[in-house]
Amino acid sequence: MTGAAQPLPAVAAAGPGLRRLLSYLGRHRVAYGVWALLTLSYVAAFVAVPILIGHAVAAAESKLPDAEVARRCLWIVLVTLLRAGLRYYSRVLVFNLARDIEYELRNDLFAHLQRLPQSFYLRWRTGDLMSRCVNDLGSVRLLLGPGVLNLLQTPILFLAVFAAMLTLDVKLGLLVLLPYPAFLLIARSFGRAMHRTNLRLQEGLASLSNSLQETISGIAVVKAYAMESANQVRFEAVNRDLYRRQIAVVRVFAGLGPVLSLLPAAAMWLVLLVGGHEVSGGKMTLADFFTFSMYVYELTFPTFLMGFVVALVQRGAASMQRLDEVLCVEPSIADRADLVPLERLRGEIEFRQLEFHYPSAGRAPALRDVSLHVPAGSTLGIVGPVGSGKTTLASVIPRLYEVPDGRVFLDGVDVNRIPLATLRTNIAMVPQDSFLFSMSLAENIGYGLPALDRERVVAAAERAQLAKDVADLPHGYDTLVGERGVMLSGGQRQRTALARALALRPGILILDDALSSVDAETEAEIQRGLGEVFAGRTVILISHRISTVRDADQIIVLDDGRIVERGSHDELLAGGGLYARLASQQALEAELEGEEAVA
């Protein structure tokens, strides 16, 4: 490939990906060095065998004694044994290296994904990420194993064989060489086609798996609205498209082998014509002719293989490029150089004229001109219509999203300069959707603890009014909750998420509408229990219910990303604004119910 005058577009495009891959290879340079030596020895043994065969044939040809022929045949056996040993070790070594690098790469991918901010996950589909981490990593593994093995071994082998042929007979050697430059041409055009078709195949696979994933995730809706047949039609279209992409790949692949096999065929043809002529004319011995044809023969399989290796490398490079696209995304939320080494947070929060945009273009800012001071240990209530920015405001406190410098301060320090570990261990958030992991209930509650602490888990479960449910579960705290916690009811999931946050014993506790699926009776119990929890902590309560926030030290009302009102419950009621309106609406409902009750 490198022999081509201009770099292939495919390879050029895959440049950064391959550079990254090379840095992984570099870490194992000693092992690769040993492997290269093994390969060279293997090639030497490889080249020796046809010479020994020729030698043996020469003995037979010149009617040497049987013992001599047998002796020379024994040499073939010995060198062959050596060759097998070398082959074994070089193969084992390079394949194990491929495994090691796959291991490192997968670890790095996982670590990187964990570092990427939430804004990344808004843009990238889970199915796409999974397809990269599974399918593309698999292609890279093939590039590293058989790919690297043959990339080094085969060219050296070719060179050594040609050198051997040239020493036997310069003219015939050069002639036999003739067809092989065509290999570069074939590899180049097939390589391009493979790159193109494979890229399209990967896209097809990704879109098929997305389509499936979505149907399964939304299966309740699919069933409730009898979408099955309409869905099937959509799926058939994706499926048909995938088939076309697969056949396009196959067409290229199926052509490569036969076309490549023509090269050694042409070489053998030349040996037969020219070599045969030379032997007839007495310019060449029959044994040399034999050796020559053995060499050409030995090149058949490597030539054939090399074609597929080119394909493998192309695909691997394309896949590495796709991995690189993920690895290249800067973890914009990371500890910075100008870090302030805080370990505990007292819990003072301040916003200074914060304006916040979600990354997707063309949308109005989610927060504008938010200035707010929350003293340590106090409770802040946030109310406001749906979509007014309540969740966004809470999410920037633990730095789930990027905010500009000088806008958000915790304990007087810019949030961007506080170690992430400090932020995440001191701030516990109960998000709206209570995502649980497919582990035991205890592990879910203790999710944020450095180690599973049974006592703390049980205490947190009691606070969250979950303990009584636990008794009914088949294995108590050791019950596996299933994927996303499907074994629990909605209310149980929310209370588990609450317990998970409480178990952290955080300095700042954020409850984002955390009890919407919990029934009124249980909510009241939980709130009674929380009074104790709130003491000494900064608490942020997001709710659409006035009752939830009324006891807060400070309440803000958000509307369209702005703070439109602030104050205590009584002040806001007296202010007669949005808050008062919300309160009177809710009161009206209550009164209505009351009147009916009286009636």
Partner 1 sequence: MTAPAGVAEQDSLHEEEALGKAYDARLLRRLWRYVAPYRAQIALTLLLVAPMFALELAPAWIVKTGLDQVIAPSIGVSGALGAGGAASTAAPAVPATVDGLAHGPASIPPLVWLGILYLVAMLASSGLQFWQTLVMAKTGQLAMRTLRSEVFAHISRLHLGFFDRMPVGRLVTRATNDVENVAEMFSAGVVALLTDLLKMVGFAVALFLVNAKLALVTFLVVPLLAGAAIVFRLRIREAFRSVRVRIARINAMLQETVTGMKVVQLFSRESRNMRDFAELNAAHRDAWVMSIRYDAALFAVVEMAGSLSVAIIIWYGTGVAAAGVLYVFIDWMRRFFLPLRDLSAKYSVMQSSMASCERIFQLLDTEPAVRDATPRRRPPAAAAAGPRGAVALENVWFAYNGEDWILKDVSLRVEPGEKVALVGATGAGKTSIIKLLTRFYDVSRGRVLLDGVDLRELPQEELRHRVALVQQDVFLFSGSVAENISLGRSDIDLAAIERAARAVEAHGFISALPEGYQTNLHERGANFSGGQRQLLSFARALAHGADVLVLDEATSSIDTETEALIQQALRVLWKGKTALVIAHRLSTIQDVDRIHVLHHGRIVESGRHEELLARRGVYHRLYRLQYETQKTVAGAPATGGKG
Indicate which single residue of 162, 289, 356, 409 sits in contact with partner 1 (rule: CB under 8 A): 289
Residue 535 sits in the site that holds partner 1 (CB under 8 A): no
Residue 272 sits in the site that holds partner 1 (CB under 8 A): yes
> Which range, of 19-27, 102-110, 190-198, 404-412, touches partner 1 by CB under 8 A?
102-110
Residue 468 sits in the site that holds partner 1 (CB under 8 A): no
Report the distance separating Cα 21 and Cα 39, nearest Å. 21
User: Do residues 567 and 575 touch, judged by C-beta distance below 8 A?
Assistant: yes
Smaller CB distance to partner 1: residue 13 or 573? 573
Indicate which single residue of 1, 129, 327, 564 sits in contact with partner 1 (rule: CB under 8 A): 129
Helices of type H across 62-218:
66-115, 118-123, 126-131, 137-142, 148-168, 170-177, 181-217
Q: Which residue do the tokens 């088939």 mark?
A: 243
C-alpha to C-alpha distances, 476 to 18, 445, 470, 507, nearest whole angstrom: 50, 13, 5, 29
Using DSSP's 3-state secondary structure scheme, residue 3 falls into coil
15, two tokens: 């440049």
Smaller CB distance to partner 1: residue 1 or 568? 568
Q: What is the dihedral of CA 265, 270, 273, 278, to 10 degrees?
A: -140
Indicate which single residue of 73, 182, 329, 467 sits in contact with partner 1 (rule: CB under 8 A): 73
Residue 574 sits in the site that holds partner 1 (CB under 8 A): no
Report the distance separating Cα 185 and Cα 569, nearest Å. 79
Indicate which single residue of 4, 12, 185, 421 sits in contact with partner 1 (rule: CB under 8 A): 421
* Percentage helix, strand, coil for the chain under 3-state DSSP, each rounded to 5: 65, 10, 25
> Which range, of 6-14, 191-199, 385-393, 528-536, touches partner 1 by CB under 8 A?
385-393
Residue 467 sits in the site that holds partner 1 (CB under 8 A): no
C-alpha to C-alpha distances, 450 to 138, 375, 425, 502, nearest whole angstrom: 33, 28, 10, 14
Q: 380: which strand partners?
A: 540, 554
Pairing of strands 379-383, 367-374: unpaired
Using DSSP's 3-state secondary structure scheme, residue 381 falls into strand
Site for partner 1 in 78-97 (CB under 8 A): 80-81, 83-85, 87-89, 91-92, 95-96
Indicate which single residue of 504, 526, 540, 563 sits in contact with partner 1 (rule: CB under 8 A): 504
Residue 344 sits in the site that holds partner 1 (CB under 8 A): no
Indicate which single residue of 16, 44, 516, 567 sits in contact with partner 1 (rule: CB under 8 A): 516
C-alpha to C-alpha distances, 484 to 62, 123, 210, 214, 435, nearest whole angstrom: 80, 21, 19, 15, 6
Indicate which single residue of 165, 194, 268, 540 sits in contact with partner 1 (rule: CB under 8 A): 268
Q: How far is the CB of 458 from partner 1 (least distance, A)?
A: 18
C-alpha to C-alpha distances, 451 to 111, 443, 444, 447, 479, nearest whole angstrom: 20, 9, 12, 9, 18
Smaller CB distance to partner 1: residue 16 or 255? 255
C-alpha to C-alpha distances, 565 to 5, 28, 84, 167, 351, nearest whole angstrom: 69, 62, 82, 93, 15
Residue 322 sits in the site that holds partner 1 (CB under 8 A): no
Site for partner 1 in 20-49 (CB under 8 A): 49
Indicate which single residue of 224, 337, 455, 471 sits in contact with partner 1 (rule: CB under 8 A): 224
Smaller CB distance to partner 1: residue 375 or 432? 432
Site for partner 1 in 300-319 (CB under 8 A): 301
Report the distance separating Cα 321 and Cα 485, nearest Å. 35
Site for partner 1 in 387-406 (CB under 8 A): 387, 398, 400
Indicate which single residue of 7, 404, 547, 571 sits in contact with partner 1 (rule: CB under 8 A): 547
Indicate which single residue of 21, 102, 347, 350 sits in contact with partner 1 (rule: CB under 8 A): 102
C-alpha to C-alpha distances, 128 to 45, 154, 218, 322, 332, nearest whole angstrom: 46, 35, 18, 10, 21
Residue 217 sits in the site that holds partner 1 (CB under 8 A): yes
Query: Judged by CB under 8 A, how many residues of this single chain contact partner 1?
Result: 191
Q: How far is the CB of 12 from partner 1 (least distance, A)?
A: 29
Indicate which single residue of 5, 22, 30, 386 sits in contact with partner 1 (rule: CB under 8 A): 386
Q: How far is the CB of 411 from partner 1 (least distance, A)?
A: 18
Fill in the per-residue mask, 175 to 214: x = in contact with partner 1 (CB under 8 A), - = not in contact.
Answer: ------------------------------x--xxx-xxx
Residue 489 sits in the site that holds partner 1 (CB under 8 A): yes
Q: Is 266 left (phi over 0), alpha (psi -120 to 50) or beta?
A: alpha
